[in-house]
Amino acid sequence: MPKVGILMGSDSDLPVMAKAMEQLEEFGIEYEVNVISAHREVDVFVDYAKSAEERGIKVIIAGAGGAAHLPGMCAAIFTLPVIGVPICTKTVGGVDSLYSIVQMPSGIPVATVAIDGAKNAAILAAKILAVSDEELLAKLKSFKDDLKSQVVAKNDKLQEIGYKEYLKK
């Protein structure tokens, strides 16, 4: 049964939101994914957000560009955590999306990651779920150790071959 709901207002957001799906799969977290427009399918969207908790969803990751109402509207209806992913837009590079998602009124918080930061949204969702899941917590600790190992390996390579060779890779 999915624990994370992934929403996007358009299929054009899929390349960004796929990064969240890939990361959740690495952690072994089941998710569901839907394209639902908060503006064009109001009734479908409201039904989804109202029924998510009873269907077992613990966290919603909502990606949105432009006016970016999807994450905030999720948070207005869904009681559990919502993580907003601002999607880069052609007009102002996603800053419009970022501002729309972070400027929520008091009482309706949306955790917000960087523009196109769907991978971090999935990691944050995993951290939220790990509060009550020891196995997932262990996976997150291993993930963090792997990140450290990657940096150490990169530094070792830099020291070994020098910056000019390193930049050629």
Residue partners of 22: CB distance under 8 A and separation at least 6: 119, 122
Task: Report residue 67's pLDDT band, with 50, 70 and 90 as the boundaries.
Answer: confident
Query: What distance in Å separates the CA atoms of residue 126 and residue 143, rounded to the nearest whole number?
Result: 11
Looking at residue 70, its pLDDT comes to 96
DSSP per-residue codes, 3-50? SEEEEESSGGGHHHHHHHHHHHHHHT--EEEEE--TTT-HHHHHHHHH
pLDDT at 86 over 90: yes
Sign, CA dihedral 119-125-128-129, equals negative
Please give the structure tokens belonging to residue 146.
Answer: 């792997």
Query: Region 123-146: what's the mean pLDDT?
Result: 98
141-148 contacts at long range (C-beta below 8 A, 24 or more positions apart): 143/26, 143/27
User: What are 138-156's pLDDT values in tens digits?
Assistant: 999 999 999 999 999 999 9
Looking at residue 66, its pLDDT comes to 85
Query: Region 52-64: what's the mean pLDDT?
Result: 97
pLDDT at 169 over 90: no
Looking at residue 91, its pLDDT comes to 86
pLDDT at 133 over 90: yes
pLDDT at 49 over 90: yes
Task: With 0.85 as the threshold, say if the pTM is over it.
Answer: yes
Looking at residue 51, its pLDDT comes to 98
